[in-house]
């Protein structure tokens, strides 16, 4: 009758010791040691693996390949990003687009197609910048009501607090990895409030180290309208189709992908116009579209430089 208690008293220390050993093994090397012990050396593990298992997982591993000609973070390896930052590319641009209805011709990702061309051009003009993956998830109206853009199927909307939380975590991630300037640009009217609020809050909290700024100048379609008039693409008195679409944004998207504006199908169907402007000539479209991208990139790059000089403070 006494053997069970004796057995339990014998096994209990063994079980406790085993649990303690498991807990100790689960503590990562970076965890601060108990008081009185020497700190553990920083881990050399990086790249998603362990340095001890493969030298390419070591923090100072040499890049075995020539980096690609890209400014897009998701197209780079971690070594490409590390080496680009060491070479001075310490500005990161966060672009916010959207998934929303844009009439019968344009893909729902209209703003994202625009930003694919424009962020690339901005980063290359700056020379010291990279582009974060485009954020397509933005406020488009109450997500639980069929109102505003949410009245149309296919639209994806975030609550304002969700949008700002997403941006906050993105910005914080880039701060953690040492980017010196974190810039937000948008291509949809509902995005500005959240980007501005996050930029002001974090730039103040971190005392502009890194600089965090929302550059409003990218979302300036009046400048696109002026350029099209100067080029003779649009004229006074032209018809308005009454769609969530226009020549400027169509041609900007065309630079990224003609399929995004259903160019081939529209040419075949005889519907290759928008507000009285023909988009049937592919080469002409590219020529004008590239001028739009270059103008917007020039203005945005200048505004980014000014924002950095002002330590993220905007008027």
Domains, the chain, with CATH or none = 71-309 (3.40.50.10310)
**pLDDT tens string 249-296:** 999 999 999 999 999 999 999 999 999 999 999 999 999 999 999 999
Nearest residue to 233 (alpha-carbon basis) of 245, 243, 220, 224: 224
Q: Report the pLDDT value the prediction gives residue 87, as an integer from 0 to 100.
A: 98
CB contact at 8 A, 182 and 211: yes
Task: Report percent pLDDT > 70 for the chain.
Answer: 86
User: Is 314's pLDDT higher than 80?
Assistant: no
Q: Report the pLDDT value the prediction gives residue 37, as an integer from 0 to 100.
A: 66
Rounded Cα–Cα distance for residues 84 and 47 (Å): 16
Mean pLDDT, rounded, of the chain:
91
**pLDDT tens string 81-121:** 999 999 999 999 999 999 999 999 999 999 999 999 999 99
**pLDDT tens string 235-244:** 999 999 999 9
Nearest residue to 272 (alpha-carbon basis) of 283, 260, 261: 261
**pLDDT tens string 167-208:** 999 999 999 999 999 999 999 999 999 999 999 999 999 999
Instruction: Place 42 in a pLDDT band, splitting at 50, 70 and 90.
Output: confident
Rounded Cα–Cα distance for residues 244 and 31 (Å): 53
Q: Report the pLDDT value the prediction gives residue 15, as an integer from 0 to 100.
A: 41
CB contact at 8 A, 114 and 95: no
Task: Report percent pLDDT > 90 for the chain.
Answer: 86
Rounded Cα–Cα distance for residues 311 and 305 (Å): 10
End-to-end CA distance of the chain: 84
Nearest residue to 242 (alpha-carbon basis) of 98, 111, 109, 103: 103
């Amino acid at each position: 009758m006494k053997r069970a208690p004796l057995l339990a008293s014998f096994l209990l220390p063994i079980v406790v010791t085993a649990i303690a050993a498991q807990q100790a093994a689960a503590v990562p090397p970076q965890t601060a040691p108990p008081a009185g012990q020497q700190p553990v050396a920083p881990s050399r593990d990086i790249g998603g693996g362990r340095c001890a298992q493969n030298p390419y997982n070591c923090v100072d591993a040499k890049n075995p390949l020539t980096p690609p000609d890209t400014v897009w973070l998701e197209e780079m390896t971690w070594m490409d990003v590390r080496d680009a930052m060491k070479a001075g590319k310490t500005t990161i641009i966060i672009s916010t687009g959207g998934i929303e209805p844009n009439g019968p011709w344009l893909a729902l990702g209209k703003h994202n197609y625009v930003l694919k061309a424009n962020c690339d051009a901005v980063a290359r003009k700056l020379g010291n910048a990279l582009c974060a993956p485009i954020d397509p998830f933005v406020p488009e109206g109450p997500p639980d009501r069929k109102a505003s853009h949410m009245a149309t199927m296919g639209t994806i909307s975030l609550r304002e607090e969700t949008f700002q939380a997403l941006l906050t975590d993105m910005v914080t991630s880039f701060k953690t990895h040492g980017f010196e300037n974190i810039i937000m640009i948008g291509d949809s009217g509902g995005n500005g409030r959240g980007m501005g609020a996050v930029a002001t809050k974090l730039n103040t909290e971190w005392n502009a180290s890194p600089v965090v700024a929302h550059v409003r100048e990218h979302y300036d379609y009046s400048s696109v309208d002026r350029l099209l008039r100067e080029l003779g693409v649009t004229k006074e008195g032209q018809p308005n189709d009454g769609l969530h679409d226009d020549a400027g944004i169509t041609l900007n998207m065309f630079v990224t992908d003609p399929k995004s504006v259903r160019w081939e199908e529209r040419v075949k169907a005889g519907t290759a116009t928008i507000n009285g402007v023909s988009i049937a000539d592919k080469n002409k479209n590219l020529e004008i579209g590239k001028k739009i991208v270059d103008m917007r990139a020039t203005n945005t790059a200048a505004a980014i430089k000014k924002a950095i000089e002002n330590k993220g403070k905007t008027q």
